[in-house]
Amino acid sequence: MGGRGRLSCVGLGMMLGAHLAPRARGEITTADVVFVAAADPVVERWVQRMHADVRSLQPCYGEGRSRHAAYRDMVAMMMAEVRRGARVCGAFYGHPGVFASVPHRAVAQARSEGFEAWMEPAVSAEDCLYADLGIDPGQSGCLHLEASQYLAYVRRIDPSAYLVLWQIGVVGDLGVSLRSTGAMERALLVEKLLGDGYPPDHEVILYEAATLPVDQPQVVRLALDALVEADPSMQSTLVIPPARPMVRDESMIGRLRQCGRSTVQRAFAGSRGAGTEHAAVPA
């Protein structure tokens, strides 16, 4: 130690051992101190075998304690070491920047104090669900929302695209302190989804990516209105497939045609086809 402190926030990916990228592994093994936050204690023990000084951030969560307070403590613990001059690595499960506020806050705080700080991207639950459920977000679009935020705010939902609701296990927890919420909150969620155009018998998916190589992903398909009595966990993500076809905007398509062939040629000049796999607007 003795140098200038710095902070890297890396992702472990979703599956133990399978998703850790070389740069993230390098950060973990060469840091002065590693802080780890993983949903599974087995994953934390695996990180502990990579470095002599690995400190779990899990004790920041307390029964009934607001997660906001826990997040503040996590940032404070990492920043205390950065200020001491340590090369600090925060290792978070999944992607450190996906539905994870601590790494974003810690990087912003460190930079605001003049320290070098950055984030390494990684495999998130989103990446796993595309592979496990065979979804290509390019086909009809995909909107990702935090489940409680969807309930508490007025949002414009498009039932012709996929809708993915994160943290479904604690949907409606306004105090951000519970480890699960109940049928009453899920009934309100179903009510709102019905109001947004989804039929009650529309098939939705409770999804959990496998986190150990010996496990399989959990894919529970159920009717939307059966969600009320379902039992999502802290690791569940709700995937709602499109409920209706996309509606063509004939007026815009007509205007695009008038833009003429020359514009199209300019737009694609030099392209070797990357990004053109989808016929965005079938004839």
Ligand X SMILES: C[S@@+](CC[C@H](N)C(=O)[O-])C[C@H]1O[C@@H](n2cnc3c(N)ncnc32)[C@H](O)[C@@H]1O
Summarize as ranges the residues that interact with ligand X (CB under 6 A): 14, 39, 94-95, 98-100, 124-125, 166-167, 169, 207-209, 211, 234-235, 237
Q: Which is nearer to ligand X, 94 or 159 (CB)?
A: 94
Q: Is 162 a catalytic residue?
A: no
Q: How far is the CB of 68 from ligand X (least distance, A)?
A: 13
Q: H-type helices in 113-220, by residue range?
A: 125-133, 137-140, 147-152, 183-195
Q: Is 93 a catalytic residue?
A: yes
Q: How far is the CB of 130 from ligand X (least distance, A)?
A: 12
Q: How far is the CB of 95 from ligand X (least distance, A)?
A: 4
Q: Which is nearer to ligand X, 71 or 115 (CB)?
A: 71
Q: Which is nearer to ligand X, 176 or 228 (CB)?
A: 176
- Considering only CA atoms, which of 32, 22, 26, 73 is closest in space to residue 53? 32
d(CA 209, CA 95): 13
The radius of gyration of the chain's CA atoms, rounded to the nearest angstrom, is 22
The residue from 6, 71, 150, 207 that is catalytic is: 71
The residue from 6, 87, 93, 162 that is catalytic is: 93
3-state DSSP percent of the chain in helix, strand and coil, to 5: 40, 20, 45
The greatest distance separating any two alpha carbons of the chain, rounded to the nearest whole angstrom, comes to 65
Angle separating helix axes 67-83 and 101-112, nearest 10 degrees: 40
How would you classify the pairing of strands 6-11 and 54-56?
unpaired
Degrees, nearest 5: CA angle 229-233-235: 145
Secondary structure E strands in the chain:
6-11, 33-37, 54-56, 87-92, 116-119, 142-146, 162-166, 203-208, 218-223, 237-240
d(CA 142, CA 159): 10
Q: How far is the CB of 271 from ligand X (least distance, A)?
A: 31
Q: Which residue is nearest to ligand X (CB)?
A: 94
d(CA 280, CA 268): 14
Q: How far is the CB of 87 from ligand X (least distance, A)?
A: 23
Q: Which is nearer to ligand X, 81 or 126 (CB)?
A: 126
Q: Which is nearer to ligand X, 55 or 104 (CB)?
A: 104
Cite the active site residues: 67, 71, 93
